[in-house]
Homo-oligomer: A and B are copies of this chain.
Amino acid sequence: MLKLYHHPFSTTSRFVRLMLAEHDAKVELIVEKSWERRPEFLELNPAGSVPVLVENDGPPIVGAGPIMEYVDETRGYALGDRRLMPNHPEARAEMRRLVDWFLHKTHDEAVHYFQHEKIMKLELPRELGGGSPDNQVLRVARVNIKHHLHYVGWLAGSRNWLSGEQLTFADLAAAAELSVVDYVGDVPWDEDLNAKYWYARIKSRPTFRTLLADRLPGLPAAPIYTDLDF
């Protein structure tokens, strides 16, 4: 049995939920408010961050990258042709580069700002930085997200999926990042049709449904969020 300590609006947690769904892996989801720094959770992960995966009573598998490799190592083979990890070391390297790009660069330069200003600040207590969004930060984020969307569009336009001919973890990482910005309606999809059509394909997968059901008290999803024909 798998248990995932996560947060519904943590992009790396969403990445893990998507990959578990693609592997048909049943998982018990436990919402962890990492800013509360629960001692029992810090024992699982001294960094205090989600996602953390626990299989049966095994040791914690900590962080999106290690979880991706673990899920592939323990379940990838069973997917056969649909394995999310390419076979060749060079193709794996390109896929891992893109996963890092989306989870770190796209996240830090664009997604993080929307996530923090529009979503987390609603949930965080005031003494930890909760409050209303800073519009100046959001203006920067709206410029930056365009560059990252165009990079997705460029990849989607030159390959079938982002990392090559097949769906891989890289597509899930990019989709997980963008999905949080899509919840607040801030992905400028019409700026890049290649990116939009790629996202429409991945959003239509049954495995994506779990994300589309997430709701944040006090912040309804943008109408586009669940629309498969956006």
Interface size class of A (residues with CB under 8 A): 20 to 34
Residue of B at shortest CB range from A91? B59
Stretch from A27-35, A95-103, A128-136 forming part of the interface with B: A95-103
The reply on A89 being an interface residue by CB < 8 A is: yes
A109 to chain B, nearest CB (A): 10
Within 8 A of B (CB), among A35-69: 46-47, 58-59, 61-63, 65-67, 69
A73, CB-defined interface residue at 8 Å: yes
Classify the secondary structure of A's interface with B: helix
Stoichiometry, as copies per complex, reads 2
Does B66 contact A96, Cβ atoms closer than 8 Å?
A: yes
Evaluate contact between B59 and A90: CB separation under 8 angstroms.
yes
A94 is an interface residue with CB less than 8 A from chain B: yes
Chain B residue at minimal CB-CB distance from A101? B47
Given contacts A73-B92, A89-B70, A94-B59, contact A65 B151 (CB under 8 A): no
Q: Which residues of B contact A46 (CB under 8 A)?
A: 151
Interface membership of A105, Cβ < 8 A: yes
User: Which residues of B lie under 8 Å from residue A58 when comparing CB positions?
Assistant: 90
The answer, yes or no, to whether A93 is at the interface (CB within 8 Å) is yes
Bound: A25/B93 CA distance, A: 18
Which residue on chain B has the smallest CB distance to residue A71? B89
Q: How far is the CA of A100 from the CA of B51 in the complex (A)?
A: 14
Contacts A66-B100, A100-B66; A93 near B47 (Cβ below 8 A): no
Shortest beta-carbon contacts, A-B, top 9: A66-B96, A62-B97, A61-B93, A73-B89, A66-B93, A70-B93, A66-B97, A70-B89, A74-B89
Residues of A within 8 A of B (CB): 46-47, 58-59, 61-63, 65-67, 69-70, 73-74, 89-90, 92-94, 96-97, 100-101, 105, 151
